[in-house]
């Protein structure tokens, strides 16, 4: 008779455990390699964003561009050139410097987390989706350097910037909204500082920058397609109203004070830019005060929203440490 090999229940259970452990080890190994790769990209992209954001200030001075924002200067005996939702030179510098500082603070905490905790998870996203907006904004900052060799194909950057800002905004808003950090019972001061740095300043600054840029580059695309100077005047009022309404809504939904503060800067910058025009220049180009009036309304709106968000967060456990 042929010998039959009969396994006991203990042997089967033991065999299943070994197979499960082998599969689990292989899966963990794959996850480990994937995480190592993603963490490497995160470090490189974040480091690049930090460096290029500060270098953009040099390019803004030398080439008058950051992203494809143009820095207008008031020069004697030269007529001012109007462009929709343009902010004046000084506040454009302030706006970019504030964003650079926000990036720098979060980057320092990011490096500190790597050194102390051997973790890349300060941005709190298991899927590493924050790599996408960080990389896109890194490229958008680099566009400012490319402007010193501005050619006939420069308008292509408008379209690249348009889609990049939409994608970046989608991920930044989703990351911010999904986090829901303000509802948690946070009592750890270190975690509090980390959350304020990442969500309030870092994400808030990039959301504001990308949102403002989305409307600004839309104006550049329209004016490139229809090079009629008078269209700028009406475009300025329409885009100003659209930008203000959308940004007020996003700021309210996200309850972010930095977004409200930076849009206060933007709309003040728009008004100051308008008053760089002499009365003669205004008459020559038929420049009215429509954009000034709408900007003033949004300044009041964001001030109210800033106070509301402060009171809202003041009553949350998150701020009662």
| pLDDT score recorded for residue 196 | 82
- Report how far residue 3's alpha carbon sits from residue 60's, in angstroms, rounded to the nearest whole number: 85
Query: Is 9 among the domain residues?
Result: no
Q: Of the ranges 23-37, 57-71, 263-277, which one carries the lowest mean pLDDT score? A: 23-37
Please, what is the average pLDDT of the chain? 83
> Which has the higher per-residue pLDDT, 313 or 31?
313
Whether 17 is in a domain gets the answer no
* Model pLDDT, residue 79: 65
253: containing domain: 27-319
In a domain, 12, yes or no: no
Is residue 102 a part of any domain in this protein?
yes
Looking at the DSSP bridge assignments, the partners of residue 70 are 65
pLDDT in tens, 222-242: 988 887 777 888 888 999 999
Q: 30 pLDDT exceeds 50?
A: no
What is the model's pLDDT at position 77? 62
Q: Indicate whether 125 belongs to any domain.
A: yes
- The answer as to whether 255 is a domain residue is yes
Burial 82-92 (b: 16+ CB within 10 A, else e): bbbbbbbbebb
Residue-wise pLDDT tens digits, 186-223? 456 667 777 788 889 999 999 999 999 999 999 999 98
With contact defined as beta carbons under 8 Å apart, do 254 and 207 qualify? yes
In-domain check, residue 237 = yes
How does DSSP assign 177-199, residue by residue? HHH-GGGS----HHHHHHHIIII
- Burial 223-248, CB ≥16 within 10 A → b, else e: beeeeeeeebbebbbebbbebbeebb
Euclidean distance between CA atoms 156 and 172, whole angstroms: 24
Higher pLDDT, 78 or 146: 146
Global confidence as pTM: 0.85
Question: What's the number of domains the chain is made of?
Answer: 1
Name the nearest CA neighbour of 183 among 170, 197, 195.
195
Chain Cα centroid distance, residue 179: 16
């Amino acid at each position: 008779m042929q010998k039959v090999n009969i396994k006991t229940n203990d042997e089967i259970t033991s065999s299943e455990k070994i197979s499960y452990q082998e599969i689990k080890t292989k899966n963990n190994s794959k996850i480990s390699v994937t995480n190592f790769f993603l963490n490497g990209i995160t470090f490189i992209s974040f480091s690049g964003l930090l460096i290029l954001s500060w270098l953009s200030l040099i390019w803004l001075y030398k080439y008058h561009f950051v992203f494809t924002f143009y820095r207008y200067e008031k020069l004697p005996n030269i007529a001012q050139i109007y462009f929709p939702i343009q902010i004046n030179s000084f506040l454009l510098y302030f706006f970019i410097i504030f964003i650079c500082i926000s990036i720098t603070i979060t980057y320092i905490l990011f490096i500190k987390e790597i050194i102390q905790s051997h973790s890349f998870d300060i941005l709190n996203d298991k899927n590493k989706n924050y790599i996408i907006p960080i990389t896109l904004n890194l490229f958008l900052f680099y566009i400012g350097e490319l402007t010193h060799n501005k050619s006939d194909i420069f308008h292509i950057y408008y379209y690249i910037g348009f889609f990049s800002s939409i994608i970046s905004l989608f991920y930044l808003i989703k990351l911010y909204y999904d986090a829901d950090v303000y509802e948690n019972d946070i009592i750890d001061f270190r975690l509090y500082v980390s959350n304020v740095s990442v969500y309030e300043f870092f994400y808030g600054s990039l959301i504001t920058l990308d949102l403002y840029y989305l409307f600004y580059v839309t104006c550049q695309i329209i004016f490139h397609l229809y090079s009629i100077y008078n269209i700028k005047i009406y475009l300025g009022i329409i885009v100003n109203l659209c930008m203000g309404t959308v940004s007020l809504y996003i700021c309210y939904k996200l309850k972010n004070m930095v977004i409200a503060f930076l849009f206060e800067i933007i709309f003040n910058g728009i008004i100051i830019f308008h008053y760089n025009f002499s009365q003669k220049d205004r008459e020559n180009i038929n420049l009215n005060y429509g954009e000034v009036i709408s900007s003033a309304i949004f300044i009041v709106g964001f001030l109210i929203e800033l106070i509301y968000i402060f009171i809202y967060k003041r009553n949350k456990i998150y701020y009662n440490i």
